[in-house]
Amino acid sequence: MAPPVLRPENALKRADELISVGEPQAALQSLLDYITSRRIRFADPAAIEPIVFKFLELGVELKRGKVIKDGLYQYRKHVQSSTEGLKSVGAVSRRFIDLIEKKMSSEQAKANAEESTEEDLEGGVTPENLLISVYEQDQSVGGFNDEAVTSWLRFTWESYRTVLDLLRNNSQLEITYSGVVNRAMQFCLKYNRKNEFKRLADMLRQHLDAANYQQQKSKQYTVDLSDPDTLQRYLDQRILQVNVSVKLGLWHEAFRSIEDVHHLLSMSTRDPKPSVLANYYQNMAKVFFVSSNYLLNSVALQKFYDLYQQNPKATDEDFKFYASQLVLSALSIQQDDLPVVGYDPLARLAGFLNLESKPTRSQVIEAVSDSKIFSRADEPVKKLYELLNSDFDVNTLKESLASLLPELNSKSYFTQYVEPLKSFTIRKAFISASKQFGSIKLDELFEHTSLPSPFDLSPLDLEKSLLQAAMNDYVSFSIDHDAGVVSFMEDPFELLGGSTATNADDEQRNDDGYEETHVEEEPEPILTRNSAVRTQLIELAKALKETEGFPHASYVDKVRMARNELIRQNNAIIASEKEAAEERARQLEYEKQSASGVPLTAEQVVEERQRRMKEEKEAAEARMEAEARRRAEEKRERELAAINEKTMLKMIEDINAKGLIFIDPKEAKNMTLEKFKKLTVELVSKDKKDLDERMSHAFKRVDHIERAYRKLEAPLWEKDAQKQKERDLESYNKLKQMMVEKAKKDHEENLRIHDRLVKIYPSYLHFREKVIAAQKSQIEALRAENAAKLEAAKNARLQEVRQQRYNELIARRKEELAAKEHDDRQRMLQDRLTKERKERERVNKEKDEAARKQREIEEAVERTIKRNVSATPAPPVRSAPPARAAPPPRASNEQVASPAPQPEKKLTYAEKMKLRRAGRA
Amino acid sequence: MAAVFDDIRLEDIPVDDVDMQDLEETYAVERSIEFDRYVVVDGAPVAPEAKVGALQKVLTKLFSQAGSVVDMDVPVEEGRTKGHLFIEFEDAGAARRAIKMFNGKKLDVKHRLWVNGLDDMERYGRPDFSTEYREPVVPEFEATEYPRSWLQDETGRDQFVLQKGEMTAVFWNRNNLQPENVVEPRRNWSNSILNFSPHGTYLFSFHDQGIASWGGPQFKRLRRFAHPDVKAISMSSTEKYLVTFSSEPLEVSDEPNEACPFGPESRGHQLCIWDVATGVCVKTFALPPQQQLQWPMVKWSFDDKFCARLGPGAIAVYETEKNFQLLGGKVMKIEDVQDFSFAPKGIKLASNRPNDPPSTVMVYWTPESNNQSCKAVLIELPNRRVLRTINLVQVTDVSFHWQNQAEFLCVQVDRHTKSRKTIFTNMEICSLTAREFPFEKVEIKDRCMRFAWEPNSDRFVIISRSENVNDNPAIAKNVVSFYAPEKKVDKKGVIIDKELSIFKKWKLVRAIDGKFSNEITWSPAGRFVCVAAIGKIGSRNENIDFYDMDYPNTEKIINTATDVNATLRDVAHINYASATDYEWDPSGRYLAFWSSAWKHKAENGYKVFNLAGAIVREELITDFNNFFWRPRPDSLLSNSEKKKVRKNLKEWSAHFEEQDAMEADSATRELILKRRNWLDEWSKYREACKQTLSESGLSICDCVELSTKDEDCELVEEIRETVVEESTEEVPFFEE
């Protein structure tokens, strides 16, 4: 049954329903079907996401890794065309990882919890459930709990792998990718999955390779490694990888990771964060330490220390710790007084630390002795340093170390360097012993070199390290176990002769002359490899003996010299061989030129033959090569020619199809574009010329024929013209006849009609009268009617007009009246105002007058009072006038100017009259 | 308040000045007594008075067909009707219709009705009607100047007319030289265009009052054809008759008027046929009712013996020589006939006897109906014998293309597919000179837009247009196809299959697609054809293409088919985008294109090309309107004379070359004239000498017989050395 097309919400609902009825498998399938259907390609990823989440939840719950993988890949395929889609893929992946981790941790917890109880149940693995487990989906049938956790682990790991593969190498998903990488590494760390971690690292490496490869192809959303952020992310991943691998103790993996980091660092333009880098160097130091490469360990530590100095949080304590560690590490570096002949693998490793060449111990020691570091180191370390470097004495070593070591031993950083320091010290002790004693009793030597704990070694170990030192060529000795004597040798070539005597002889002879020895050895005819080596060495020894200071130098120095000499010789040999080869080549050349007729020796013949064979071979090779090249060239030319021919053929066909010009298609082979163009132009112009000629000829022909015709025609037209008048007359007559005939016919017809109609005429007249009468009366009636109507209409019109005019007149009159009235009113108003003003003026005047009179009266009264003051008591001031004289605050505007403002309106008529009378009085 | 206005009284308002004109007009009774609503009917049965009612009933019913009858007056005398009666119709139109419908109608075996208007009564019925015969007024005979005098031009030149603004001028064409005026340019010669008659004899001009004809050496006015407001004219095949059409119906007053060329029966007619030579109107027609106007409305047989008009469901054929009476007295009823066409020439039918005059042939077609297929029918006139019928199916339209000699007829059948969505064309080509009139079918996939026969030949060119391509007008999708009859020749070029000459099979010579071309024009002389895209202003490409159908160099032709009687070659491509019209000169040597200001205002002027597309003359003239050549009648030379000319073309050529050189350059002209003088002098001298010699009894032997035998010949070998250059150079001695 085809799954019905669903809307997103319905898809969810359906899944829920299926789960609720206990069909989670079906639900998962339905969700898978939905998210893998093509139509979601056009849907909004945001709408689909919840479904994918649901799907993932269910899938994780059911542990259907393959289904999930399928679903996720399909989903990515559908949505990856858009940026939103890719974002959604990222979100989905994160969600998936979240889910799986949650599940994993819960499972782990369950397993842990169960473990405790399980122990009591003493393992439920019974044959019965073993059988059941074979066909059950659920692997966690009793007794397989441990298995269950493992299977969950596997599931989780698979999921990581799926997701990483899903997210890899897409610039849009980079961040999610790096997040998942981190989580995957954490997972490995947490559950201690070393193998998985290795695989993970491999996978990441593959991804990076792919990214590098993709770089060249321009594809959408490719990872751009030139982007500093991206590179940084990758770098961080790798540094973490180093970190984790160190933590997991996967040294090999760590080393490979370091390689990766180094590669990325070389690409990066931006410096990584110091802290990260410091951590990286620390890890690196660890790796080198584990690989017992104390030299690089020390260098790495030194780098780390340099970076660590920038750490603002670092305490003096930390510094002391790291500085001491660094000094110790430097001290642990193996003796490297002897130069290495041949290839040194360390050189490559040094590259990882950005060192140009392999550092030497002395360089490192020197760097360490820098006050910045050295001053911060612990006191005992400093002492050790002094002891081992400047004032090393075999005799006092034991005592000084004895005092120093217990102190050092208490330091945490010391223990790991015990081993290298011990071996270093012992070796040094041996070397100095070898210098001091020509031969020494074994016990004595051991006594000398047995150091206090923790540098203590059993005599057997001591002997072993003595042998080791000899192997490394720092000392040379022979042990006589019977006597228990060790005799050190001073000369590295002592052994060559087999005995010291011969050696002495050699030396003596050497004094005598170089030639002799040579001669003496000459007769020995057998040239074995051994003897060749020996001769070589002897010669070396001879050469060395001549050098200054050699005889008196210590063994080590002698070895160093020898080695240096060897290196020099090697270089010289290489150079001379090179020269010889060149010379031989020149010789050959010359011989060839001078066509030697000189008889050759057998050897020369052989050589010559070999040389010739070689030459021939080379020549043949060269010939073959040339042949191949020529053939390729020819093939190319043939192909080009074929293409050319094809195109030309087409062009020729095209142009031929136009029909204007014709080029033989067989010519296509020899045609080039220029030739073709030239030919075309030529042919076209030729054709054009031809055409023009032919056309002008054609025109002339037609023209001339026509004119000739006309010339010949002229007399005929002349004849025709003669007949013109005749013809005109004829046609005229014909027409006239026709017209007359017609007229006659018409006339006859008319007559016939007349004959017929004349009979009707009387009744016609009668009818006519009747009609006239009828119509007349009708018309009369109409006229009368219309006259009446006209009259009425006229009257109506008059009435209407009259009324209208009347109305107009009335209106006009009304208007006039209104105007007049208005004017009147205006005038009246004016009059009144003037009147009032005059009145007021008059009243004021009167008042003034009254006031004056009043004052006079008052003055008179006062005078009287003054006169009668003693006689009569003061008369009561009863009159209002003074009070009234006081100006009232509310003077009306009009009377502001009046000297004595009188609010006349306030006065009643009676008062006015009173005033008037008073005024008059 | 009212009291204030006591002095104003309603009654006192003066109203004498009120205008009552309009009212008076409204109520005026202007009816006079009308008589045109009445008709008088004669020939009605004579019945007793008692039966008057029945009679009235019958007649009312009958006459109601023309219009509603208002009243009927049946005069009665002595208890019997008089056999005539008066009918009143509701309006004059009904009365006129009644006269037309029932005058002369047979009521029954014994009675024939005669219906007249009361005005007839007045005119003819009066007892004092003059019964005297009066001679018709025929204009006096005037001898005209020879109207074909232009054909007598010494150098055989052609004339053309230029119209520019109000000016019109007639010129002699002088190849690439400045044209020569025939007459002084005239102002306002015509209201609109001017037209030559088909053979160039007359020039017609349009005026408000009618048409005027002009002719003779000085283009004098010959006749006037007073048809007011003429819109279109056409000429009969032999220039005998002129057809004029006016959108206004003729108004003819009742009184016979000397000046009026129309009789009373012409009232309301719109088509007139005039005798060109005399200017007399010989026939008028009303327009056929409810029909699309299709010019020309009157078509003429090749010899002007018949003319025909298309009516609804009928073709009316008139005999011109019998006063334009209908052939056989009635129209040819052909149900649903769509179109017809006369053969442009008389046809010597294969069934005719050798001495029979050429037959007049007509072709018409009828569309598909329910029970009949579409038919195209060839009939012979005047006997109306059906010569051939072809049945066609799924037909949308049919058109006829006659070859100018009427040897072939192409019936172009536009057929639709069953879905009726696309239309394609079949061409049924009939050979009219062959027995049984075989039809050969040429099918094309697209719809044919233009078809053109080569004059006097059997080849044709079509332009077709594919309809199912997209509608972008910017894409050229017209296809120009050249067809020619199949030709099977053996290696020596001799035609193998003789039958092919009779039963022709047309083959596509070449189809050129992607063109805008919409017009085809063959040179009247044949061989050359020009295909042009007219009305495509703005096209930057060449829009005029000249082709030669008989290109002499058979290697350089663009044929796609080889076994055809054509060697096609495109000879010129010209860009003249503003061209609006074109016309070949009558001889087929020159093709004029012009851009008329009537159509648009861009680049008005004309260009004349020769038949091979080489430009001969061009002029840009503002307000240029029209260019047309004067047609020529058919040549009077017989075929044998023509053949002779072609045979002796070299001599003629020499002559004309000289003439042209003279025309072109005055120096040459003088030289030639001088030479001629010398020749004359010498021949005179020679004559004189001959004279003197003969007088003295001697004869001249100016012809010396030369022996051509070998022994008489001597081989003279002459070796001539020419020293081109001589130089001396001193060479220094090395050994010194």
The answer to whether B560 and B509 have CB atoms below 8 angstroms apart is yes
Mean pLDDT highest for which of A412-416, A605-609, B594-598?
A: B594-598
Which of B4, B6, B13 would you mutate first to test chain A, the one with the most A CBs within 10 A? B13
Query: What's the mean pLDDT in B665-693?
Result: 85
Beta strands in B526-683 (DSSP E): 528-532, 544-548, 569-574, 581-584, 590-595, 605-610, 615-620, 624-629
Number of C-beta neighbours around residue A544 at 10 A: 20
Number of C-beta neighbours around residue B549 at 10 A: 23
pLDDT value at residue A422? 75
Mean pLDDT highest for which of A440-444, A540-544, A604-608, B382-386?
A: B382-386
Annotate B568-593 with DSSP letters as a single string.
-EEEEEE--TT--EEEE-TTSSEEEE
Share of chain A above pLDDT 90, in %: 4
Query: What's the mean pLDDT in B477-497?
Result: 74
Which of A705, A747, A783 minimises the CB distance to B133?
Answer: A747
Query: What's the mean pLDDT in A436-463?
Result: 72
Which of B20, B76, B133 would you mutate first to test chain A, the one with the most A CBs within 10 A? B133
Q: How far is B657 from chain A (nearest CA, A)?
A: 9
Instruction: Give residues 668 to 697 of A whose Cβ lies within 8 Å of B.
Output: 687, 690-691, 694-696
A887 has a pLDDT exceeding 70: no
Q: How far is A50 from chain B (nearest CA, A)?
A: 49
Cα separation, A857 vs B611, whole angstroms: 144
The answer to whether B289 and B312 have CB atoms below 8 angstroms apart is yes
A898 has a pLDDT exceeding 50: no
Amino acid at A5: V
- Of A728 and B579, which is predicted with more confidence? B579
Of A778, A797, A788, A780, nearest to B22 by C-alpha is A797
Mean pLDDT lowest among A100-114, A507-521, A603-617, A848-862: A507-521
Q: Do A702 and B154 touch (CB under 8 A)?
A: no
B451 has a pLDDT exceeding 90: yes
Closest residue of chain B to A659, computed from CA coordinates = B558
Number of C-beta neighbours around residue B535 at 10 A: 17
Q: Do B525 and A764 touch (CB under 8 A)?
A: no
A744 and chain B in contact, CB less than 8 A: yes
Which of A695, A741, A814 minimises the CB distance to B612?
Answer: A695
- Looking at the DSSP assignment, which residues form a beta bridge with residue A488? A477
Q: How far is A96 from chain B (nearest CA, A)?
A: 55
What confidence tier does A507 reach under pLDDT thresholds 50, 70, 90?
very low
B325 has a pLDDT exceeding 80: yes
Q: How far is A828 from chain B (nearest CA, A)?
A: 21
Give B203-231 pLDDT, tens digit per residue.
999 988 889 999 888 888 888 888 888 88
Number of C-beta neighbours around residue A18 at 10 A: 19
Cα separation, B308 vs B327, whole angstroms: 10
> Domain coordinates of chain B in residue numbers?
38-125, 448-577, 639-667
- Whether a cis peptide bond, with omega within 30° of 0, leads into B382 is yes
Give A460-499 pLDDT, tens digit per residue.
777 777 777 777 767 777 777 777 777 777 666 655 544 3
- The pTM assigned to this predicted structure is 0.48
pLDDT value at residue A477? 73
Cα separation, B346 vs B91, whole angstroms: 51
Separation of first and last alpha carbons in chain B: 161
Q: Do A728 and B277 touch (CB under 8 A)?
A: yes
Query: What's the mean pLDDT in A141-157?
Result: 65
| Mean of pLDDT over chain A | 74
Residue count (chain B): 736
A334, with CB counted inside 10 A (0-12, 13-18, 19+), is middle
Q: Which residue has the tokens 């007892």?
A: B127
Mean pLDDT lowest among A727-736, B329-338, B483-492: B483-492
Write out chain A residues lying below 8 Å of B84, CB-based.
759-760, 763
pLDDT value at residue A676? 78
What angle, 0 to 180 degrees and rounded to 10, lies between the N-to-C axes of helices A673-722 and B649-664? 100
pLDDT value at residue B731? 74
Q: Which residue has the tokens 């056009």?
A: A42
Query: What's the mean pLDDT in B247-254?
Result: 75
Cα separation, B84 vs B96, whole angstroms: 18
Q: Do B38 and A764 touch (CB under 8 A)?
A: no
What confidence tier does B377 reach under pLDDT thresholds 50, 70, 90?
very high
Domain B38-125 has CATH 3.50.30.60: no
Please tell me the class of the A405-489 domain. Answer: mainly alpha
The answer to whether A324 and A377 have CB atoms below 8 angstroms apart is yes
The answer to whether B653 and B168 have CB atoms below 8 angstroms apart is no
pLDDT value at residue B400? 92
How far is CA A635 from each of CA A627, A640, A670, rounded to the nearest angstrom?
12, 8, 17
The answer to whether B430 and B409 have CB atoms below 8 angstroms apart is yes
B2 has a pLDDT exceeding 50: no
pLDDT value at residue A740? 83
pLDDT value at residue A119? 42
How far is CA A249 from each of CA A192, B133, B292, rounded to the nearest angstrom?
10, 150, 108
Mean pLDDT lowest among A714-728, B318-332, B351-365, B489-503: B489-503
The answer to whether B199 and B191 have CB atoms below 8 angstroms apart is no
- Of A555 and B402, which is predicted with more confidence? B402
User: ipTM strictly over 0.85?
Assistant: no
Q: How far is B162 from chain A (nearest CA, A)?
A: 23
| Spacing of C-alpha B699 from chain mean position | 64
Q: Do A736 and B4 touch (CB under 8 A)?
A: no
Mean pLDDT highest for which of A206-210, A511-515, A593-597, B671-675?
A: B671-675
Q: Which residue has the tokens 């000297």?
A: A899
Mean pLDDT lowest among A70-74, A145-149, A221-225, B293-297: A145-149
Of B220, B256, B226, nearest to B244 by C-alpha is B226
Which of B20, B124, B612 minimises the CB distance to A797?
Answer: B20
A502 has a pLDDT exceeding 50: no
Query: What's the mean pLDDT in B345-360?
Result: 83
Closest residue of chain B to A782, computed from CA coordinates = B29
- Of A530 and B329, which is predicted with more confidence? B329
Q: Do B40 and A764 touch (CB under 8 A)?
A: yes
pLDDT value at residue A508? 41
A329 has a pLDDT exceeding 70: yes
Q: Which helix (H) or strand (E) holds A907?
A: none
B12 has a pLDDT exceeding 80: no
Query: Would you state the structure tokens that stand for residue A753, as one six-digit string?
Result: 């009609």
Which of B73, B148, B527 minimises the CB distance to A717?
Answer: B148
Query: What's the mean pLDDT in A829-856?
Result: 90
Which of B87, B112, B636, B660 would you mutate first to test chain A, the one with the most A CBs within 10 A? B636
Of A854, A870, A858, A873, nearest to A921 by C-alpha is A854
Cα separation, A588 vs A595, whole angstroms: 10
Which of A771, A778, A804, A814 would you mutate first to test chain B, the one with the most B CBs within 10 A? A771
Query: What's the mean pLDDT in A276-282?
Result: 76
- Looking at the DSSP assignment, which residues form a beta bridge with residue B485? B506
B92 has a pLDDT exceeding 90: no
Q: Which helix (H) or strand (E) holds B245?
A: strand B241-246
What confidence tier does A552 reach under pLDDT thresholds 50, 70, 90?
low
Query: What's the mean pLDDT in B105-134?
Result: 76
Query: Would you state the structure tokens that stand for residue A495, as one six-digit string?
Result: 């052994």
Angle (CA) A873 A875 A879, round 5°: 170
Which of B124, B280, B588 minimises the CB distance to A753?
Answer: B124
Give chain B's largest Cα–Cα span: 168
Strands B339-342 and B306-311: unpaired
Q: Do B15 and A764 touch (CB under 8 A)?
A: no
Cα separation, B256 vs B213, whole angstroms: 26
Cα separation, A242 vs A261, whole angstroms: 8
Closest residue of chain A to B634, computed from CA coordinates = A713
Q: Which residue has the tokens 């590295």?
A: A492
The answer to whether A341 and A251 have CB atoms below 8 angstroms apart is no
pLDDT value at residue A879? 46
pLDDT value at residue B540? 65
Cβ contacts below 8 Å, chain A against chain B, sum to 254
B440 has a pLDDT exceeding 50: yes
Give B393-411 pLDDT, tens digit per residue.
888 899 999 998 888 999 9
Which of A702, A753, A767 minimises the CB distance to B588?
Answer: A702
A880 has a pLDDT exceeding 70: no
Q: Which helix (H) or strand (E) holds A78?
A: helix A65-79
Query: What's the mean pLDDT in B86-99?
Result: 81
What angle, 0 to 180 degrees and rounded to 10, lies between the N-to-C axes of helices B639-647 and B649-664? 70
How far is CA B661 from each of CA A273, B657, B658, B664, B666, rounded to the nearest angstrom?
103, 6, 5, 5, 9
Write out chain A residues lying below 8 Å of B116, CB-based.
753, 757
CA trace torsion A298, A302, A303, A306 (10° rounding): 170
Q: How far is B186 from chain A (nearest CA, A)?
A: 27
The answer to whether B503 and B438 have CB atoms below 8 angstroms apart is yes
| SS3 per residue for A603-648 | HHHHHHHHHHHHHHHHHHHHHHHHHHHHHHHHHHHHHHHHHHHHHH
Query: Would you state the structure tokens that stand for residue A507, as one six-digit string?
Result: 């030396």
Amino acid at A573: I
Which of A720, A783, A813 minimises the CB distance to B4?
Answer: A813
Closest residue of chain A to B25, computed from CA coordinates = A790
A144 has a pLDDT exceeding 50: no
The answer to whether B489 and B498 have CB atoms below 8 angstroms apart is no
- Looking at the DSSP assignment, which residues form a beta bridge with residue B608? B592, B617
Q: Do A805 and B15 touch (CB under 8 A)?
A: yes
The answer to whether A324 and A381 have CB atoms below 8 angstroms apart is yes
Q: Do A728 and B144 touch (CB under 8 A)?
A: yes
Q: Do A743 and B134 touch (CB under 8 A)?
A: yes
Q: Which residue has the tokens 């223990």?
A: A415
A514 has a pLDDT exceeding 50: no
Cα separation, A625 vs B371, whole angstroms: 89
Cα separation, A61 vs A103, whole angstroms: 8
- Looking at the DSSP assignment, which residues form a beta bridge with residue B519? B532
How far is CA B25 from each of CA A791, B28, B29, B677, rounded to the nearest angstrom?
13, 5, 8, 92
Annotate A879-905 with DSSP letters as a single string.
-SHHHHHSPPS---GGGSSSSS---GG
The answer to whether A321 and A330 have CB atoms below 8 angstroms apart is no
Write out chain B residues lying below 8 Å of A738, CB-based.
282, 323
Long-range contacts (CB closer than 8 Å, 24 or more residues apart) made by B51-56: B51/B81, B52/B76, B52/B81, B55/B81
Cα separation, B625 vs A553, whole angstroms: 128
Q: Do B82 and A740 touch (CB under 8 A)?
A: no
pLDDT value at residue B452? 93
Give B175-203 pLDDT, tens digit per residue.
777 888 888 888 888 888 888 998 888 99
Q: Do B558 and A714 touch (CB under 8 A)?
A: no
What confidence tier does B279 reach under pLDDT thresholds 50, 70, 90?
confident
Which of B29, B635, B653 minimises the CB distance to A704?
Answer: B653
Residue B318 CA neighbour count, 13 Å, CB half? 20
B532 has a pLDDT exceeding 70: yes
- Of A202 and A401, which is predicted with more confidence? A202
Write out chain B residues lying below 8 Å of A784, CB-based.
none
Give A695-737 pLDDT, tens digit per residue.
888 888 888 888 888 888 888 888 888 887 787 788 788 878 8
pLDDT value at residue B592? 92
In chain A, residues under CATH classification 1.25.40.860 are 405-489
Strands B528-532 and B544-548: antiparallel
